[in-house]
Amino acid sequence: MLQGQQSWLFSNRPVLLATAVAGGPFEARSAIAADFDILHDDLWLGQNSFEKAEKKLLEEACLASIQKAGIQKEEIQFFFSGDLMNQIISSSFTARTLGIPYFGLFGACSCSMEGLALAAFVVNAKGAKYALTACSSHNGSVNKQYRYPTEYGAQLPPTAQWTVTGAGAAVVAAEGTGPRITGATIGRVLDLGVTDPFSMGAAMAPAAVDTILAHFRDFNVDASHYDLIATGDLGEIGHAIATDLLRRQGIEMPGNIFTDCGVIIYQDNQPVMAGGSGCACSAVVTYGHFYNRMLKGELKRILVVATGALLSPLSYQQKESIPCVAHAVALEWEGV
């Protein structure tokens, strides 16, 4: 169970039984569009607010993953979910719809792996047969809360990132066929004094590096143990910084193994500046793109390190720097 200082080894190897991802119109043109289960051509999803649209995305992803798992929602014991909205309304309102006993999480964009780690822990400890974990973000609702109105004409700097409109959900089961969740490393909150909310990648890179090093130390493995190590939403700049920080620790991350969900999600011709971000970024790439690649047998062992910037619009206006956290979950595909 407890492995090293801050990690869990899941000896019963819970299964990632089924996943589902939903996305908006911008994601329908992304590099991983084919990996989405549900795509919408309307940013509003027919709702009258961005917040309601985000909740609908999350509900759809949850229901689709339950359906793909081939179970009834009543069979699921616990629901772990998080998002970026104030008072995590998207998650709580989705929990209201689903009626599954619920843990609301906030780890900003690290929610995806925070939820997966906790769901796997509970299932591994026989605290549940099935657990559902999900998270969501919406470009409109996040911009509205953290930045400017959507239609406001402010010029974004090259370090800015594009919040992914989407939701990802996964059913974790004690038994079944699918990638196994072998371990998780829970990160500590780090703050290296970055204050610019348009430079999230730089703010979060040290937290990602810290968690990766802790994972390697606790499990006594190195990068070659994995076919792929993906950070959540560092973007191009954060990814380059993280690579540099790891190099300073004497760890050379091979370019074909070390990647970032925010870098691979969008196509080069999409105007996303440094890359994608938001809770949904790591969720849709992991539960969609990586999950499918694992099922195809292209990836055997992966480590996903979801990164979260724990700032609020108030803390930023009060000139506080940006504390960040990262949680890692290791997945392993043994084949059918």
Partner 1 sequence: MWPFFLCIFVCFMKNTMLGIAFQLEGVKMPKQQNYLPTQAEYQQLVKQYEPKRPLLKNCLRAFFAGGIICTIGQFFQWFYMTFFDFTEVTASNPTVASMIILSMLLTGLGVYDHIAQWAGAGTIVPVTGFANTITSAAIEHRSEGYVLGVGGNMFKIAGPVITFGVFAAFVVAIVRILVEKLRVI
- Binding site residues, partner 1, CB under 8 A: 5, 48-52, 144, 148-159, 190, 192-194, 199, 202, 206, 210, 213-214, 217, 237, 240-241, 244-245, 248-249, 271
Least distance to partner 1, CB of residue 184, Å: 18
Least distance to partner 1, CB of residue 153, Å: 3
The two tokens of residue 146 are 């953290």
Residue nearer to partner 1 on the CB measure, 42 or 175: 42
β-strands 130-137, 78-83: how paired?
parallel
Given the structure tokens 């971000």, which residue do they identify?
A: 277
Please classify residue 255 by burial: count the beta carbons closer than 10 Å to its beta carbon, then call 0-12 exposed, 13-18 middle and 19+ buried: exposed
Least distance to partner 1, CB of residue 39, Å: 20
Q: What is the DSSP letter of 28?
A: G
Residue nearer to partner 1 on the CB measure, 52 or 73: 52
Nearest of 322, 320, 296 to residue 308 by alpha carbon: 322
Per-residue 3-state assignment (H helix, E strand, C coil) for 210-245: HHHHHHHHHHCCCHHHCCEEEECCCHHHHHHHHHHH
Residue nearer to partner 1 on the CB measure, 223 or 295: 223
Residue nearer to partner 1 on the CB measure, 190 or 304: 190
The two tokens of residue 293 are 């690649």
Least distance to partner 1, CB of residue 240, Å: 5
Residue nearer to partner 1 on the CB measure, 51 or 83: 51
Paired residues of 324 in beta bridges: 190, 309
Neighbour count for residue 13 (Cβ, 10 Å) = 18
The two tokens of residue 265 are 């999600």
Residue nearer to partner 1 on the CB measure, 46 or 271: 271
Neighbour count for residue 89 (Cβ, 10 Å) = 16
Least distance to partner 1, CB of residue 277, Å: 16
Least distance to partner 1, CB of residue 159, Å: 5
Cβ contacts of residue 47 below 8 Å, gap of 6+? Answer: 53, 56
